[in-house]
Structure 1
Amino acid sequence: MKKIPLRRCTLTNKVLPKQELLRIVKTKDDQVFVDLSGRANGRGAYLQKDLDPSLFLKKKHLLEKALKIKLPEKVLLEVEDILKSGR
């Protein structure tokens, strides 16, 4: 039986299978983007895909703290769109 990788949501602290989470990555040159493949190099933080977008906007400072960088507006909008669409 294959082991399912688990990760913790940065905002809710729930431990979930990696496939149920959205990964945000900060690279060494301080670029921040949504990693849909889940394999990009860099510091990653995870969010539940079924998270309420209003909760995300309220607690985005926790994500910024985890990535150790202020999130660009472009990334905030992209994450909000993904959460609203439920991708």
Structure 2
Amino acid sequence: MAKVRKIPMRKDLLSGEMFPKKEMVRIVKNADGTVSIDPTGKAAGRGAYVALKPEAIAQAKAKKVIDKAFELAVDPAFYDELFAYVDHKKARMELFGDKSK
């Protein structure tokens, strides 16, 4: 019999829903207080996950959700960068499935 593997799940910072880790984007706050996108999922620092929902990123920008989660002022340009990254990654997953990184 084939062994059934457990799928790692993570909670979406914006909606509170659980999603498979592969379907999410990690954002991280470094020791120096810089917030950035972590495409590898392995960068050092306090991490949080967001689902591949560009519309949720736009709402998060208005409500400053990431600012509150990391307890610091996040540059509004970061939300725009995150929106573009999530939009691109979502499109790649729809085209290529789970193989895209």
Asked if Structure 1 and Structure 2 have the same fold, meaning a TM-score greater than 0.5 normalized by the shorter chain, the answer is yes
1:48 to 36, 51, 54: 51
2:7 to 4, 21, 43: 4
Give the greater-gyration-radius structure (CA): 2
Higher helix share: 2
In 2, Cα distance between the equivalents of 1:74 and 1:45? Answer: 18
Q: Which has the higher contact order (CA 8 A, sep 6+)?
A: 1
Gaps of 5+ in 1: none
AA at the equivalent of 1:55: Q
Q: CA contact under 8 A between 2:67 and 2:73: conserved in structure 1?
A: yes
AA at the equivalent of 2:62: K
AA at the equivalent of 1:81: A
1:24 to 27, 35, 41: 27
For normalisation by structure 2, the TM-score amounts to: 0.72
SS in 1 for 2:33: coil
For normalisation by structure 1, the TM-score amounts to: 0.82
Gaps of 5+ in 2: 93-101
Runs of 4+ in 1 over 6 A off after TM superposition: none
